[in-house]
Amino acid sequence: MTSTERPGTDLATAPDMGRGVVTGASLESRIHYADVLSHAGLVPRDYQGKPANVLYAVETGTMLGIHPIAAINGINIISGKPTVSPALMTALVRRAGHKVRVKVTGTVAGGDIVATCEVIRHDDPEFTYSASWDIARAKRAGLWGGKSGAWANYPEAMLKARAIGEVCREAAEDALCGIHYTPEELGAHVNGDGEIIEGAVVPDMPAQSPSAPTPAVPALDGDLVRAAILGARTKGILLDHLVEVGAAHRDPHGAVTWPRRRDLEGLRVADEHGQEVSAWALIGARGRSLPDVALAEETTPDVDTLLAESSDVTDAEIVDETTGVLA
CA 198, distance to chain mean position in Å, is 21
Average the pLDDT over 305-314 and give the result.
49
What single string gives the DSSP state of each residue in 27-87? Answer: HHHHHHHHHHHHHTT-S-GGGTT-HHHHHHHHHHHHHHT--HHHHHHHEEEETTEEEE-HH
Residue 305: per-residue pLDDT: 55
Residue 141 predicted with pLDDT over 50: yes
Distance CA 170, CA 264 (A): 21
Average the pLDDT over 236-250 and give the result.
85
Residue 8 predicted with pLDDT over 50: no
Find the length of the chain.
327
Element holding 326 (H helix, E strand): none
Distance CA 324, CA 127 (A): 27
How crowded is residue 126: how many other Cβ atoms within 10 Å of its Cβ?
6
Q: Could you tell me the end-to-end alpha-carbon distance of the chain, in angstroms, rounded to an integer?
A: 62
Residue 307: per-residue pLDDT: 54
Residue 253: per-residue pLDDT: 66
Lowest mean pLDDT among 62-76, 91-105, 130-144, 244-258: 244-258
**Can you list the domains of the chain with their CATH numbers?**
9-79 (no CATH), 87-181 (3.30.160), 222-318 (no CATH)
Distance CA 21, CA 69 (A): 11
Q: How confident is the model at residue 302 (pLDDT cuts 50, 70, 90)?
A: low
Three-state SS annotation for 275-317? CEEEHHHHHHHHHHHCCCCCCCHHHCCCHHHHHHHCCCCCHHH
Residue 209 predicted with pLDDT over 60: no
SS3 11: helix
Q: How confident is the model at residue 319 (pLDDT cuts 50, 70, 90)?
A: low
* Digit-coded pLDDT (tens) for 19-34: 444 456 788 888 888 8
Residue 127 predicted with pLDDT over 90: yes
Residue 208: per-residue pLDDT: 42
Q: What is the mean pLDDT of the chain?
A: 77
Residue 199: per-residue pLDDT: 46
Residue 161 predicted with pLDDT over 50: yes
Average the pLDDT over 108-120 and give the result.
95
Please check whether residue 247 is in contact with residue 220, taking contact to mean a CB–CB distance below 8 angstroms: yes
Please check whether residue 78 is in contact with residue 183, taking contact to mean a CB–CB distance below 8 angstroms: yes
SS3 271: coil
57-91 CB burial, b ≥16 within 10 A, e <16: bbbbbbebebbbebbbbbbbbbeebbbbbbbbbbb
